[in-house]
Amino acid sequence: MNEVMCLNTKRKTKNKRIIDDKSTLIYFLCTVFYCIRMFYLNLPIGVICGLVIIFVSLPVIFQTIFAKSKSRLDILVYLFIILNIFSIVHYTYNQIPLSVFFSDALSSFVPIVFYYLAKSSNKERVYSWFCYITSFVTIIGIILFLTTPSFYIEFLRYSTYSGRFHEVVYEQSGRMCSIYNSTIIGILCCYAVAVSLDKFLIRHKKAFIVHFVINLMGVFFCYQRSSYIVCAVVIVVYFLVYMFRVKERLTNKIVLLGIFIVACFVLGYYLMYSSSMSVYLERFFSRTESFDTAFSERTGTWIAAIENTPSLLFGSGLGSVGHHAMPYSEFTVRDGNYIKILCENGIIGLSLFAIICLTAIISGFKKKKYCEVAVIFIMLLHSVGSNTLSLLVPGFLFWYAIGSINSKSVNGGIFYENNRRHSC
């Protein structure tokens, strides 16, 4: 009976390959366009990626919206979408151009599409391709970071600061940005570290240790303090899960843990005594030493934005205190996504978002979808000190993970699929 169920599962998964390709296809196409933008600086990358997402996913969106059965999480996400759409009303009095609303909606609102794509997709395949693509982008980023060709510096000058602050380009080039910027690549590398650990430790796919090493290097070179903390937490938690939750011989666990510890010592010794790495190590320590000032650097803008929000209950409209509003408003939140949501969507919007995340996390633990829970935590921890939920590409996997947890598909998660395979 179990063998028949497994065969039926494989047939269903095989038949859904066209739908499965949608999430991977979007991520792949957006990566390609971001690569092209390095040479064509005026390319409207946000508009292009937004159109790609909408065009590719439109059939799935209509199919899901008009579906008769809706879960509690579906309803919460619908309410969050409606609240964001109707927040455009605030632009009738907040003296900020309407273009700011659409610019912010494109980067922070469009990725919610991945919540619906996750409902009918092969999660294991999507996560695998995410690792492949992210590792490729990280390798490109490290090469550009170490060689710093002239076109790369010009790209940083234009894309990161829109050509307005040329004097700080050199400082930004001190971080690995790849085809995005250091914040985005830091989050993506943390995602990839979690996914690769899940596949290596839980699924026993040895090849993914390569992706783990590549993206761990990406986290190191991006010099993002939040990424350092998040990545360390992810590694520790996954090893704890592996040691105490995964059924495997204790000898294998001890050997693997020993190899990992020895590798860390060898790498640490090389970093400490290698003259070629001394510059990068100094940058690393300079970033870690400033952890205590991370909040003090931001609290001033947070307090000012909250005090100047007309209504904390309903907010002042999507995008009204974000990066896109900086030329038009003195009171903006540049680093702190929860304060941004509070000021733009009010207490109602922040509460709704918190309930969505909490519901997904609790459901994820119950269904043993630990990889999806890890992805959600990675984004939420980064969002404390950065507007990461307003970044287009990192939003892909975040909303995909929430949708994957809510999915009724038998291939609904890496850890879940692994348990099911053993039962079969």
pTM: 0.82
Low pLDDT (below 70) residues in the chain: 1-21, 65-69, 159-173, 243-298, 408-424
Spatial separation of the C-alpha atoms in residues 370 and 198, rounded to whole Å: 8
pLDDT for 181: 84
CA angle 81, 24, 204 (to 5 degrees): 115
73-74-80 Cα angle (round to 5):
90
CB count in 10 Å sphere of residue 287: 18
| Sign of the dihedral through C-alpha 376, 377, 378, 384 | positive
Residue 57, burial from CB neighbour count under 10 angstroms (0-12, 13-18, 19+): buried
Based on the number of CB atoms within 10 Å of its own CB, is 419 exposed (0-12), middle (13-18) or buried (19 or more)?
middle
Q: Which tokens go with 249? A: 């011989």
pLDDT digit string (tens) for 251-266? Answer: 655 666 666 666 665 5
Question: Considering the chain, what is the average pLDDT of its residues?
Answer: 77
Each residue of 275-322: pLDDT tens digit? 555 555 555 555 555 555 555 566 777 788 888 888 888 888 888 888
> Residue type at 85?
I
CA gyration radius for the chain?
Answer: 22
Distance CA 48, CA 30 (A): 8
Find out whether 320 and 100 touch, Cβ atoms under 8 Å.
yes
Q: Where are the domains of the chain?
A: 2-423
Reading the block at residue 421, the tokens are 């395979």
End-to-end CA distance of the chain: 9
- Do 322 and 101 form a contact (C-beta atoms < 8 A)? no
Q: What is the pLDDT of residue 279?
A: 54
The answer to whether 374 and 198 have CB atoms below 8 angstroms apart is yes
- Contacts (Cβ under 8 Å, ≥6 apart) of 30: 49, 52, 53, 392, 393, 396
- The per-residue pLDDT for 368 is 84
The number of residues making up the chain comes to 424
